[in-house]
Structure formats: C-alpha cells, structure tokens
Amino acid sequence: MANNAVSKDLPILITGAAGFVGKNLTAALKSAGYTDLMLFDLDAPADNLAAYAARARFVFHLAGVNRPKDPGEFYTGNRGFTEHLLHLLEDAGNCAPVLVTSSIQAELDNDYGRSKREAEALVFAHEKATGAPVLVYRMPGLFGKWCRPNYNSVVATFCHNIARGLPIQVRDPACELPLVYIDDVVDSFLAALEGRAARDCSVPGFCHLMCESYTVSLGRLAGLIESFRDSRGSLAVPDMGDPFTKKLYATYLSYLPEDGFAYPLEMHTDARGSFTEFLRSPDRGQVSVNVAKPGIVKGNHWHNTKNEKFLVVKGRAVIRFRRMDDPAGQVVEYHVSGDRLEVVDIPTGYTHSIENEGEDDLVTVMWASEPFDPERPDTIYEKV
C-alpha cells in the first residue's frame, strides 16, 4: 500500500482501542484526518466485531491480555481472541493487512509468552492461507501518556505515585528495562498503514519499530522522575537535550493530579516591586520576572561574564548603559514598551539600569546566562 494511495476515509479497525496503545493510535489517526475508525474493545457489543471485520481495509490488532487473575486467560485473550478475529476476516473474504502487537516476552517460556507465540503463529498462518499481509511487532516496554498505573507499566506507576507523594518500590535499582515512547510507536504504525513498515528480513512477517529504544535502570528511572517532582522547588529545567529525559518528563506531566497543575513561586518583594525566579538550568541560565513600581529604577550594576536579556511585556521603560572603561562616561538609552515587544541584550562590562517611565507597574522578563550564585554573584554595583 503506497503512501499516496491511502485515503483518509479508509475503513480502519482497531481492536483494544480503549487500551494504552489504542488510545494514542486513535488520537493520532483522527488528528491525521482519518474519518472511518471502527473501535472495538471488551466492553463493545460482540456482534460489532463481525461487521467491522467485513468492512475493514486495514486492521490494527492491539487487543490482548497481560495481567489476568487466571493464567488460562492469557490463552483466551491472546491466542483465542486473535483466532476469532482472523476467522471473521476469513469468513468475510477480507484480505486486508493486519498489524499485530505481540511482545518481546514471546521468546520466554511462560504462559504469557506462549500465548503470544501461539497468536503470532495464527497470524502467519492467516497470511499463508489468504495472502493478507501481516505485520507483527514484538513490543518492548512502552511509556507515555494515558497508560494505566499500578497495572503493568513501571513508568506509569512511578509517575503516578511520585506525582502524588505516594511511595514506590525499587527492588533492584540495577535492573535494566528496554523502553520505547508511545508517540514513536504510533509514528511507526502510521508508517505501516502508509506502506512503509520496516520489515525484519531475517524473520519473515516481523517488523521493526522505526524509532529509538532506550535502556534504563530502575534506579535511574526512579531518580529522574523524582527530580521532575523536585524541580518545582529547585526551578531546574530537565535536560531537554537528552531524548529519553525529554520524553519521560512529558510522560510525568501527564500523570499530575488535576488539582496539582499549578505551583507557587517565591516572590522577593519590597516597596520597589518584586523579583521572582521562574526557571533555571546549569547550561541554559535563569529566567525571572521583574516588577517595578512607577518611577522606580532597578539595576545600577555590571557583570564581568554574566550576560542578560531584558524583555518588557507590560508598561514603558528606559534601559540605560554606560561602558565601564569609557573615560567620557557616555550613557546609552533604549526606550522600550510592552506595546512593541523588543529584546534588549545586556552586554558584559556595561553598568546598566532599568527605570519605569509609565504610570503602571512595569513587568520585565529577564534571562541571565547563568543561575544566580551567592558565592560568585558576578554583580558589581555601579550607578549608571
């Protein structure tokens, strides 16, 4: 199926649509403009599946059982349901492509692994008997938004519990997990829908996810998520240059309780106004919000290495500069306003100040190239 041949009204069947992968895939398909999605899950009327199987022109078979009370349910939910779905497709004479999510645990000799292997065998037999293309993905551990905590995902459980101040258990901090991010998985599935699946030539029928897999220890996983929680107090920005940290932080935020999205900042206030730090990082500096009352002048200092950027977002101000080694003492002025957003660089070696020229509070967003360190402030008083 070539990319250009995929119509947005293609009838697509998704089993397990209410699960973690199903929710994310459904949202992505809708966002991409696909309009004929047949969503089937355990709570859907059983008769719907036959009608869906007859109409579908592509099948995402995501449904499965991975944590039953009775081990026999592995075989009913994984092998048995797969067999039922394939029979419905065959009875309808439907040779639509079938994408199946299996598990890397299919290589293990336990009930879950055996049930997944048996389901895979049925799918491959279906392809041989009908000619319908099948795409089987053995999934590693997944993480991302909308995964059920305290079920079968340690990432979801850690994020949910740490965000709520609940305890977590790390039995073996050195234990390593292979993890893939849900948005990357969905991208791979959309590519498969468009005929661009990455097949494993050494194992017919099996496909590779077209994305990076991350190996992380339980100890590091817990430590990172705890650092996200603590960042509200430290104002530290996670390392967004690291792909895993970036994706894990996005995942953590999705587990915040709905009454816990907001958090207060420490405001340093006096008669002149206020100064409040917002974000800080060791390699990207510090962002603060400065409020000055009418007529107030702030600053009158200079830096050797630290540099800043000022952005007035409300009110009117004049920013003054004087180069410290200028014998003439020339003062340079920039008049700025929240009505026309303009960034003013504060170079090193210039003493500088900002004065509120308006009648209302002046609000300035300030970025400094390094977080303030009281042991090495690099801030020298000198009136402009």
- DSSP assignment, residue 331? E
Q: Strand, coil or helix: what is 351?
A: strand
Percent of the chain with pLDDT over 90: 84
The active-site residue, picked from 34, 52, 75, 112, is 112
Residues 300 and 210 in one domain: no
How many domains is the chain built from? 2
Q: Strand, coil or helix: what is 92?
A: coil
Contact 348, 306 (CB under 8 A): yes
CA distance 176 to 174: 6
Question: What's the pTM value of the predicted model, to 2 decimals?
Answer: 0.92
Asked if the structure places residue 154 within a domain, the reply is: yes
Residues 282 and 221 in one domain: no
Residues 206 and 283 in one domain: no
Percent of the chain with pLDDT over 70: 95
- What is the residue range of 135's domain? 3-226
129: number of Cβ within 10 Å: 10
Residues 152 and 42 in one domain: yes
In the annotation, is 381 catalytic? no
Closest CA to 194 of 23, 22, 24, 29: 29
> Which residues in the chain come in under a pLDDT of 70?
1-5, 65-75, 77, 201-204
Structure tokens given for 18: 């209410």
- Express each pLDDT in 71-120 by its tens digit: 666 667 678 889 999 999 999 999 999 999 998 878 878 877 888 898 99
CATH value at residue 285:
2.60.120.10
Contact 285, 277 (CB under 8 A): no
- 149, HSE (Cβ side, Cα atoms, 13 Å): 19
- 207, HSE (Cβ side, Cα atoms, 13 Å): 24
